[in-house]
A and B are shown apart, each in its own frame.
Chain A
C-alpha cells in the first residue's frame, strides 16, 4: 500500500534519486575526507590526466616488449600500461596462477583466466614478486580463482566482494591473506599502487619509448 502510494507520486519518483545521490556523496566524503582532500589521491590523478587529454587505457596497440616471463611463480603480479594512460604508468594488473595462465579482469570477460603472453603487447610492463610465504600466495591465487566469471566494473569501489576491476581482485586476494597492497587510503585502488607498495619486489620491468 505504502509502496504503491510512493510509486504513484510523480514528484517522489523524480526527486528520490537526486536526494539519495546527495546523501551518498555527503556520506562518502565524510568517511573519506583525508583521501578526497589529498591532491595525490587517485580521483585527482584521474581528473588531472583527463584534463591533459589522457583518457582510458591510452594508446592501445601491440608494442612487443617481449619481457621474460619464464620464471614467474603463482602469486606474482604483472602490471601493464600503454602510453597516455589515464590511470598512471600502468592500466592493467594480473595475478599469475601458474601454467602460463594469469587471472585478471576485463569488462567483457569479467574475472577470467588468460594466457600470460598477452602482456607482451604493453609498452610498460613490470613483474612483481610479493614478499610473502608461498602458501599465502597460493591462497591469494585460490581466492581469485573462486571469483572467476564475476562482474567487472571499471570504477569499482574498494568495499564489497561482488563488483570488481582488475586491480581490486588482486588487492582483495592478498588482503584476505593479511597483505595490504594499497599504500594510499583511497576509495579506489590503482595498478601503480602495487608498484609503489613495500610488500612488492620488482623482478624485472621494461619501459618502451
Chain B
C-alpha cells in the first residue's frame, strides 16, 4: 500500500509543478491539466486489482491534505486567518485542476463557481474514484479455471 500512496503523491506533486509552470505558457496549462486527469484516472483504474480496503485507504491518504483544507475552509468561523490560509492551501493542492476551473466564469451567491468546486474537489474526486474502481478488473479468459 505504501508504494501505491507514494506513487500517487509523486504523480500529484510533479503534476502540480508541471501545471503551475505551464501557466507561464497559456494554453499549455490546459493541455497538462487534461493530461493530469487522464493519468490520475489511469492510476485509479489500476487500483481495481487490489482489495477494496487497500484501494479506498490509498485514495483517502492521497487526498488527506485536500480533505483537511476543504473542511477547515468550510467552517463558518476563522481563527487568525486560518480559514483564509486554508483555502489558499486548498487551491495550491488542487493546482493541477486550476487551468480547467479558470474556464468557468459564473458567480453564485457572491462566490465564483471555482470556489465551490475547490471546496467540493475531494468529493468530486471520490466520485471519480468510485466510478473508476467500481468494476473489478476482469479475469483474462485464458486464466479462468475450467471445470470438466
A residues lining the B interface (CB < 8 Å): 3, 7-8, 10, 13-14, 16-18, 20-21, 24-25, 27-28, 56-57, 60, 107-110, 148-151, 153-157, 159-163, 187
Contacts and interface: CB of A to CB of B under 8 A. Distances in A.
A3 B35 CA distance: 10
B14 interface: yes
B85 A110 contact: no
A153 B98 contact: yes
Nearest to B26: A160
Contact of A150 (B80, B111, B112): B112
Given A14-B7, A17-B15, A108-B115, A24 B101 contact: no
B17 to A, nearest CB: 5
A20 B42 contact: no
17 contacts: A3-B38, A7-B38, A17-B15, A20-B22, A24-B18, A24-B21, A27-B25, A28-B21, A28-B24, A56-B85, A110-B107, A148-B107, A151-B104, A154-B88, A154-B91, A156-B23, A162-B26
B20 to A, nearest CB: 7
Q: 10 closest A-B pairs (Cβ-Cβ)?
A: A160-B26, A17-B14, A110-B112, A24-B21, A151-B102, A149-B107, A7-B42, A20-B18, A157-B24, A162-B102
A158 B115 CA distance: 22
B47 interface: no
Contacts of B105: 149-150
A92 B84 CA distance: 15
Chain B: interface secondary structure? helix
Interface in B91-112: 91-92, 95, 98-99, 101-107, 110-112
A149 B106 CA distance: 6
Output the residue of B17, B24, B36 with the most chain A CB within 10 A: B24
Interface of B: 7, 10-11, 14-15, 17-18, 20-26, 29, 32, 35-36, 38-39, 42-43, 46, 80-81, 84-85, 87-88, 91-92, 95, 98-99, 101-107, 110-112, 114-115
A84 to B, nearest CB: 13
Given A163-B99, A163-B102, A17 B18 contact: yes
Given A150-B112, A162-B102, A155 B20 contact: yes
Contact of B91 (A3, A153, A160): A153
